[in-house]
Amino acid sequence: MRTTLDPTNDAVFKLLFAQPTQQRLLIKLLTAVLQPAAPIVEATVLNPELGKELLQDKVIRLDVRCRLGDGTLIDVEMQTYNHSGLLERLLYYWARLYGTQAEEGAAWRRLCPCISVVFLTHDVLGNGVSHNVFEVLQTQTGQRLTDHLQLHLIQLPCPSQGPSNPSLDHWGRFLYSDSDTELQELAAMDPDIREALDVLGMLSRDPSARELAEARLDAQITRNTLIEQGRDEGLEEGLRRGREEGRQEGRQEGRQKERLRLVARLLRLRFGDLSPQYVEQLSQKSETQLDELAERLLTANRLDELFGE
């Protein structure tokens, strides 16, 4: 049993690594993941804020964005929900962070590398590999196009791949373990983990940190429950139609109805009854468009913002 706060809760993860006093800890985590040729001496967090109003937003990401001393941008996050489109979403977030440099007016030749580091509580890739690194490569020769794109996906449930990177193995076990005994064993063999466990222990004794963690967990449970409920209803409908008709279209229609029913319910909870005009527009949206609308509805103030009026 683990008595400390759970760092797979993204609010706890951010409290642990995003505060200015924890820069050393963040550098040690990044060093274990990236294994850079030169030591990382600076990692300035660009978004250290963590207010309760953010935690109650069910769709907001609590990532840790930082800039290294050489200008490299790094986005670190904990991802606990294995939803459809997750990999595409992670690539989009990388692209959005990389694009902020152009918005700041940087010349193309002065753009800096951008790296995403994502800790996953599922074997999302289905390959059983703990540390997965993705780059842009020439498919025949393996030549790397540029060092500006790297995605590190660390699948915490997967076993380590041997002794090549024991430091990352220790960090993965620290983040994912549910045993105080294992945490103490890790701390005894690795001073970096001992420091991280000390900080986590202080957070766990802080009532305000516990309140933030609980608020975030409540928001995530609410969101996941709604999604799972809609998915179950949609799959049941799809399977029923598939049995009746014997065609794949039944499952596809079930998934479409699942999303439509869930999004309509969320819209009514947020804005009240929908006019026939909005009901008609909603029924014409694709699965992807419905997913995008669901992502945005909790931060929208008016219906017409969601329907492009």
Instruction: Give the pLDDT confidence of 242-258 residue by residue, as tens digits.
Output: 555 554 554 555 566 76
The H-or-E segment that residue 208 falls in is: helix 207-245
- Give 303's contacts (C-beta < 8 A, 6+ positions apart): 267, 271, 274, 278
Residue 294 CA to residue 291 CA, distance in Å, equals 5
Instruction: Give the chain's mean pLDDT.
Output: 83
**What pLDDT, on a 0 to 100 scale, did the predictor assign at position 247?**
47
Question: Would you list the domain boundaries of the chain?
Answer: 10-205, 212-306
Number of neighbours of residue 86 by Cβ within 10 angstroms: 16
**What pLDDT, on a 0 to 100 scale, did the predictor assign at position 189?**
94
Please check whether residue 78 is in contact with residue 284, taking contact to mean a CB–CB distance below 8 angstroms. no
**What pLDDT, on a 0 to 100 scale, did the predictor assign at position 104?**
65
**Which among 34, 93, 51 has a CA at the least distance from the CA of 215?**
51
Residues of the chain with pLDDT under 50: 58, 247, 250
Residue 114 CA to residue 117 CA, distance in Å, equals 10
The pTM (predicted TM-score) of the whole model is 0.72
Instruction: Give the pLDDT confidence of 106-124 residue by residue, as tens digits.
Output: 678 789 999 999 999 999 9
Residue 301 CA to residue 112 CA, distance in Å, equals 36
Q: Is 246 helix (H, G, I), strand (E, B) or coil?
A: coil
**What pLDDT, on a 0 to 100 scale, did the predictor assign at position 229?**
57
List the structure tokens of 186: 């890790």
* 304 exposure class (CB count in 10 Å sphere: 0-12, 13-18, 19+): exposed
Please check whether residue 269 is in contact with residue 233, taking contact to mean a CB–CB distance below 8 angstroms. no
The partner residues of 133 in beta bridges, in order of sequence, read 152
Q: Is 152 helix (H, G, I), strand (E, B) or coil?
A: strand
